[in-house]
Structure 1
Amino acid sequence: MGRAFEYRKARMFKRWDHMAKTFTRIGKDIVLAVKSGGAEPSTNARLRALLQNARAANMPKDTIERAIKRATAKDQEDYKEMVYEGYGPHGVAILVESTTDNPTRTVANVRSYFNKLGGSLGTMGMLDFLFDRKCIFKVANDGKRDVEELELELIDFGADEVFLDEENNQIVIYGEFTAYGSLQSYLEENKFEIVESDFERIPNDTKKLSEEEIAEVEKLIERIEEDDDVQRVFHNMA
């Protein structure tokens, strides 16, 4: 199944286990998408994809509509997407994606979490060599598609890994970060049911730790994920 799948399967990403946090994350993404591409899904591909994510997460319709309306309001604060990079306990690389209306507040908070829990916040770009940024699509498997043939076809559109997730009966597609638009267009034009799409950072190498060491790193990651400005947290812990 490949490196990306195994990493995704093992990666601790507990934010998705908390419905309220999930809705907050998607809501901010919707605001950014509307501000950059407009409030009409038919002409805004990123918004269209986020609405699919919202439905997959069982996000209430009125919550989605409020997020869109908030994005078009004149008094809506501008969100900025910020990435923070550092090392946690035992040399584990940690990359934090945030969406914030106050970067000064957010960086101060993130730095304090690292400092208090055995890590150190570094400079932007210091972990670029450790992670590959990928886009991911999960589509419903109708049983009519040969996954290997589909993979060969999607390579021309920027895909680099396609496999069947039998547990959820979905076809999972990983591609280059810049291939998001072309893959989305192909899937929509060929009538695939896109269940979810997103962006991931896959580590090129992972670090094995003892159970005690893992617990220390997880404590820091959990604290970072609790911050309302934090959208996603990635690490290279095996």
Structure 2
Amino acid sequence: MGRKWNNIKDKKASKDANTSRIYAKFGREIYVAARQGEPNPDSNQTLKFVLERAKTYNVPKHIIDRAIEKAKGGSDETYDELRYEGFGPSGSMVIVDALTNNVNRTASEVRAAFGKNGGNMGVSGSVAYMFDATAVIGIEGKTADEVLELLMEADIDVRDIIEEDDSVIVYAEPDQFHSVQEALRSAGITEFTVAELTMLAQNDIKLPEEAQAQFEKMIDALEDLEDVQQVYHNVDLED
């Protein structure tokens, strides 16, 4: 698949944890998810998923509890879910997901992050068709063959299962996210190294050294924006 998901997660967590940005982003996402239905993960699948992701990033319990209590308290703070698509240097493609209470501000900031770093925003649909929505679930302590057998016994047919360093990574359809996890939990697995719903590029590309440096600067600028929750792209940044 061309991506080392544990490395990507650890790199993002290390970068963001220094300024607590990752906690602020999760706090916002948990609050929005909790307001979309009952503020209870047992009856709110969206909230359940966000909490699974938060756990893999070691988001403190008080951050989670505060966001859920805020939703329970009937806060009238609202956020729009937005998706931007754009292009970076040398044919690179980028998708940006945001949660914002000021659409004009976010659009302006995202456009500037692209434009100042050799990229440009595209129209809706200009990039997304080259990506597939994908559930990515990682575990330790099993081999790929063992995981395949577990999922086959649960009658779950996933896209791919690969071994990455000390982990096994499962790629599945988005609507299989919870069923894959439950099948693994039934086998005694309680911890997940990765629990993501992502936009996975159909084809990753390698950039020339100069273009890659510019691209990484653009991605950093986008991820630094307060309203941006996720950034997806088609560039293989692994050495």
Scaled to the shorter chain, the TM-score interval is 0.7 to 0.9
Q: Which residue of 1 aligns with 2:177?
A: 180
2: CA distance between counterparts of 1:132 and 1:190? 29
Q: Which residue of 1 aligns with 2:230?
A: 232
Amino acid at match of 1:175: A
Q: Which residue of 1 aligns with 2:203?
A: 205
Q: Which residue of 2 aligns with 1:32?
A: 32
Secondary structure of the 2:159 match is: strand
Alpha-carbon distance change, 158 to 33 in structure 1, aligned in 2, over 3 angstroms? farther
What are the within-5 Å matches in structure 2 for residues 112-131 of structure 1?
Answer: 112-131=112-131
Amino acid at match of 1:47: L
Alpha-carbon distance change, 13 to 107 in structure 1, aligned in 2, over 3 angstroms? farther
Q: Which residue of 1 aligns with 2:90?
A: 90
Amino acid at match of 2:176: A
Amino acid at match of 1:45: Q
Give, in angstroms, the shift of residue 12 of structure 1.
9.0
Question: What residue ranges of structure 2 are gaps of 5+ in the alignment?
Answer: none
**1:86–1:95 Cα contact (<8 Å) kept:** yes
Return 17-26 or 223-232, whichever deviates more.
17-26
Alpha-carbon distance change, 194 to 48 in structure 1, aligned in 2, over 3 angstroms? farther
**Aligned positions, number:** 231
Q: Which residue of 2 aligns with 1:160?
A: 159
Amino acid at match of 1:237: V
Give, in angstroms, the shift of residue 140 of structure 1.
4.5
Give, in angstroms, the shift of residue 138 of structure 1.
2.4
| Deviation string, structure 1 residues 90-145 (Cα, Å, up to 9, x no partner) | 221111111112222111110111122211101111112211110122234368x8
Amino acid at match of 2:160: E
RMSD of aligned residue pairs (Cα, Å) = 2.6
Give, in angstroms, the shift of residue 14 of structure 1.
4.7
The answer to whether residue 90 in structure 2 is matched with residue 102 in structure 1 is: no
Q: Which runs of 4+ in 1 moved over 6 A?
A: none
Secondary structure of the 1:81 match is: strand
Amino acid at match of 2:146: D
**1:224–1:230 Cα contact (<8 Å) kept:** yes
**1:15–1:225 Cα contact (<8 Å) kept:** no
Q: TM-score, normalised by structure 2?
A: 0.83
